[in-house]
Amino acid sequence: MTRSFAPPPRTLTLFAILLSVDVTVLLAEKVAARTAGMALGHESTFYLQLTQIWWTWLGVGLGPVQLFLWTKILKKTDLSLAYCITSLCYPLTMIASVALLQEQIGWQAWVGAVFVTFGAALIGSDEKISGEKEAFAQPMPPGP
């Protein structure tokens, strides 16, 4: 069954929620690593510290939510479109890390990220995979 390329507003909302959760997970992991990073030099202490930071568990705990949303999206739209839209996670993460973590990112990195996003969307979009059965056999896109 092939669906229309343009997803309905409800599916777009699901995409927006999934991307927000993806970015939240990455931000939580970064904050956790930054906090536990004080203990660097003693790797065992670092990982022990990580388990005691709630940001770590927020990041880990949102994993099943990501999987749930991904499965829900695949029920409503083609895998190729889903991969294209989720590749937006890279630039959105960069914007969030500048806005919320005050990271400094040079212009070259932004240009590079555009290439990576374009490439990831292109690799993920396979017009031969459009059936529901095939789509469900696909894992979540790789990445951070």
Footprint of another protein (CB under 8 A): 26-27, 29-30, 32-34, 36-37, 40, 43, 46-47, 50, 56, 60, 89-90, 93-94, 97-98, 101, 103-109, 111-126, 137, 139, 141-144
Give min distance, CB of 72 to another protein, in A: 20
Give min distance, CB of 109 to another protein, in A: 4
- Quick one: which of 110, 91, 94 has its CA closest to 102? 94
Instruction: Report DSSP state, residue 112.
Output: H
**Considering Cα of 100, then 101, then 103, then 109, what sign does the dihedral take?**
negative
Residue closer to another protein, measured from CB, 4 or 44: 44
Q: Decide: 55 and 29 in contact? Cβ < 8 Å.
A: yes
